[in-house]
């Protein structure tokens, strides 16, 4: 599914993306990598300069995404 039209700030790197990772290049800013994991979702932000580690990261566990209600 591709819904971004006439968008010049966000580009999906289809060559690097697969069923686990989605790479999004953000114009003049950096690269955002979204990772699908068994435990939830991880998002890493990398600057355009070569970096071994992300400059920011966050995640959501399945329990955060699907909280169980107390009965």
Q: Does any domain span residue 34?
A: yes
Question: Which pLDDT value is given to residue 7?
Answer: 77
Kindly report, residue by residue over 7-62, the tens digit of the pLDDT: 788 999 999 999 999 999 999 999 999 999 999 999 999 998 877 899 999 999 99
Total domains in the fold of the chain: 1
Three-class SS state of 17: coil
The confidence score (pLDDT) of residue 56 equals 96
In a domain, 37, yes or no: yes
pLDDT of the residue at 4: 59
| Whole-number Å distance between alpha carbons of 49 and 58 | 20
Checking DSSP bridges between strand 10-12 and strand 56-61, what pairing results, if any?
unpaired
Q: Is 1 domain-assigned?
A: no
Please check whether residue 71 lies inside any domain of the structure: no
Say if 26 falls within a structural domain. yes
Residue 59 domain boundaries: 10-65
pLDDT of 70 reads 58
- Between CA 44 and CA 22 the distance in angstroms is 11
Q: 10 φ, ψ to 5°?
A: -125, 125
| Residue 36 token pair | 């699908």
Q: What pLDDT, on the 0 to 100 scale, is given for residue 1?
A: 41
């Amino acid at each position: 599914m591709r819904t971004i039209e006439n968008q010049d700030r966000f580009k999906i790197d289809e060559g690097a993306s697969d069923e686990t990772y989605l790479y999004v290049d953000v114009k003049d800013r950096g690269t955002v990598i979204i990772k699908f994991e068994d435990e939830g979702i991880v998002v890493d932000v990398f600057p355009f300069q070569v970096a071994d580690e992300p400059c920011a990261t966050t995640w959501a566990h399945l329990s955060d995404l699907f909280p169980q209600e107390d009965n």
